Amino acid sequence: MYLMGLAIAQEFADFPGGAAALAGSITRAAEGMRIMRWPAERLDTLGGYLTYHNVTMLMLGLAIYSAVQGTRMVRGEEQRHALEEILATGWSRWAVIRDRTVGFAIITAVVSLALAVGTAAAMAAGGESDLAGSLVTMVGVGLCGMVGYALGLLVSQLVPTARGAAGVSSIILTALYVLNNTWEELGWFGAVRFASPFYYANYLRALVPGYGFDLLATLALVVMADVLIGLAGLAFGRRFYGAALWHRRRRKELPAALPGVRRQRLFGFPSMALLFRGRVGLIAWAGGAGSFAGLMMALEPSVIDMWSTFSKYMPGAGTDSGVSIETIYAGFSGEIVALVIVAYVIVQTAAWTADLAEGRVEAVLATPVSWSRLVLERLVALVSGVACVTAGAIVGLVIGAAGVDFELAGAGLARLAADSVLFGAALGGVAAVVVAAFRRGAGVTAMAVLMTASYLQGYLAKMFEWPEWVQKYSLFSAFGNPYVEWPGSGQTVLLAVLAIAGTAVALAIAERTPKVA
């Protein structure tokens, strides 16, 4: 936020015609890209531009992060067999929900305060100090986070695994975000915005001139979070421990103590055992990616109407580039799969770390499986999972395109599939090194930080006019827009090197470390 404040203030000063002229050009492009960020108001002010460009995405990011944490608070602890001792003391299930919700609310308050301080520093650096506006704005962001947490907590009571609940909750929040940005184009279905926390948080954009603290919007967010938490508590109180609220009884349960060993004998390969263990979550990830991709394509007619009007302001589109605006939109819809893959890999990183901490690695290594083979099998399972997620996204694109009579190019879909799997393999190589080196929950944090830094690398390189290679060789830039064209050879080599070298380094580290946490 601080860097953005400096950069935007400098851009306002350097742009011919000043802030008003810059805002005029940005507003036209923003209308065409509203599916990602909206609303765009008072872009001639630092507060308005920061809110449009950063705060809207912060709301979505914190909501998804909170939803993932919500799925772990109860369901994750059940799967790790860490909740039995608490309940055995006589602590009620309602008390568990209450205490963990209060704890997470404190965490969210701290995060929101830190974001407010960073935003206030950015505003001050740009010559438009507004501490009160920064605080109010981040209250809205934090309340969105609490709604996300409550949604994850509720979904985790209905879905068999925490991983599956994380995927479902993330997709629901992303869909609500997109629908809220485009509700004016959806006719009667636009009423769905009233179920979106982002709709109410937009009334708390106090950095935008004309907005301030909105009591009704604040109450709406608080009520949404409270209702979802209450429903989660009811579901937790009614369901069997360790099972979803609605579950199918199995004729024969495999022993919970050594799931990896028994299922390994069933399938013959640890990678298949890993996929089987996370099958529900994988189905949720693939289905969620497909649903979101299908939604993107379903919005194509209304979005293309806007994009066609403003195509000359959008890079890479129009007659000069030789690429139609329809192809650009299809490629943009396909690019979304990269973000889903990043989230999926980070979740798998957390699972690998948990396997070591909870003794499952010891169980597997007690069989005729070496450290090296386990690492390789994990990567095979991860790449297979990425392929499933990619397939789900492509199926969603095809179904969504068929619904609006849009013809997708087979070659573009093939490039998207191949590039997505290579991208997942590269991230898997990086994740394997991180897990082998850290061997603790800090590895998940390190992976998330690396992904964020890679995203910012390309963005800040363009903004501050750093050398072209800095932008070109970020992971997200290396993924490119494969539906439109295959990324450059150097970027493909970068992904391949990360996949191969990461695997080799992870093998070397793993063989020199103990089998226990």
Q: How confident is the model at residue 254 (pLDDT cuts 50, 70, 90)?
A: very low
**Burial profile 344-356: b = 16 or more Cβ within 10 angstroms, e = fewer:** bbbbbbbbbbbbb
pLDDT of 366-393, one tens digit each? 777 777 888 888 899 899 999 999 999 9
CA separation for the pair 380, 360 (Å, rounded): 18
| Terminal Cα-to-Cα distance of the chain (whole angstroms) | 37
The pLDDT of 45-65, averaged and rounded, is 90
The pLDDT of 410-414, averaged and rounded, is 94
Q: What is the DSSP letter of 249?
A: P
Tokens of 88: 């055995």
Within this chain, do residues 198 and 341 fall inside the same structural domain, yes or no?
no
Within this chain, do residues 131 and 2 fall inside the same structural domain, yes or no?
yes
Q: With respect to residue 130, please indicate whether it lies within any of the assigned structural domains.
A: yes
Cβ contact 455:476 at 8 Å: yes
Q: With respect to residue 303, please indicate whether it lies within any of the assigned structural domains.
A: no
**Tally of structural domains, the chain:** 2
Q: With respect to residue 263, please indicate whether it lies within any of the assigned structural domains.
A: no
Within this chain, do residues 346 and 219 fall inside the same structural domain, yes or no?
no
Q: With respect to residue 320, please indicate whether it lies within any of the assigned structural domains.
A: no
Within this chain, do residues 369 and 483 fall inside the same structural domain, yes or no?
yes
Q: Among residues 88, 137, 89, which one has the least CA distance to residue 112?
A: 137
Q: What percent of the chain has pLDDT over 70?
A: 89
CB neighbours of 273 closer than 8 A, spacing ≥ 6? 259, 260, 263, 264, 266, 267
Question: 405 by DSSP, 3-state: which?
Answer: coil
Q: Among residues 340, 326, 339, 334, which one has the least CA distance to residue 296?
A: 334
The pLDDT of 173-202, averaged and rounded, is 91
Within this chain, do residues 22 and 83 fall inside the same structural domain, yes or no?
yes
Q: With respect to residue 266, please indicate whether it lies within any of the assigned structural domains.
A: no
pLDDT of 428-441, one tens digit each? 999 989 888 887 77
Within this chain, do residues 350 and 207 fall inside the same structural domain, yes or no?
no
**Burial profile 53-62: b = 16 or more Cβ within 10 angstroms, e = fewer:** bbbbebbbeb
CA separation for the pair 412, 312 (Å, rounded): 23
User: DSSP letters of 165-221?
Assistant: HHHHHHHHHHHHHHHHHHGGGSGGGGGGGGG-HHHHHGGG-TTSTT----HHHHHHH
Q: With respect to residue 405, please indicate whether it lies within any of the assigned structural domains.
A: yes
Within this chain, do residues 217 and 352 fall inside the same structural domain, yes or no?
no
Instruction: State the residue for tokens 């970027």.
Output: 491
Rounded to the nearest 10°, the torsion over CA 122, 123, 129, 130 is -100
3-state secondary structure labels for all residues of 397-420: HHHHHHHCCCCCCHHHHHHHHHHH
Weakest-pLDDT range from 306-310, 377-381, 456-460: 306-310
Within this chain, do residues 485 and 372 fall inside the same structural domain, yes or no?
yes
pLDDT score for 308: 64
pLDDT score for 447: 85
pLDDT score for 516: 58
pLDDT of 157-170, one tens digit each? 998 888 788 888 98
CA separation for the pair 13, 1 (Å, rounded): 18
Return the ∠ at Cα 338 (arms to 336 and 340), rounded to 5°. 80
Which structural domain range is residue 222 located in? 1-174+190-242
Within this chain, do residues 350 and 232 fall inside the same structural domain, yes or no?
no
Within this chain, do residues 340 and 238 fall inside the same structural domain, yes or no?
no
Within this chain, do residues 140 and 20 fall inside the same structural domain, yes or no?
yes
Whether the pLDDT of residue 266 is over 60: the answer is no
Q: With respect to residue 453, please indicate whether it lies within any of the assigned structural domains.
A: yes
Whether the pLDDT of residue 156 is over 70: the answer is yes
CA 265, 266, 272, 274 dihedral sign is: negative
Taking all residues of the chain, what is their mean pLDDT, rounded to a whole number?
Answer: 84
The pLDDT of 17-46, averaged and rounded, is 82
Within this chain, do residues 145 and 280 fall inside the same structural domain, yes or no?
no
Backbone angles phi, psi at 323, to 5 degrees: -115, 125
Cβ contact 125:50 at 8 Å: no
CA separation for the pair 411, 413 (Å, rounded): 5
CA separation for the pair 397, 176 (Å, rounded): 18
pLDDT score for 260: 44
CA separation for the pair 226, 234 (Å, rounded): 12
Q: How confident is the model at residue 257 (pLDDT cuts 50, 70, 90)?
A: very low
Q: Among residues 233, 342, 356, 245, which one has the least CA distance to residue 285?
A: 342
Q: What is the DSSP letter of 486?
A: P
Q: With respect to residue 181, please indicate whether it lies within any of the assigned structural domains.
A: no
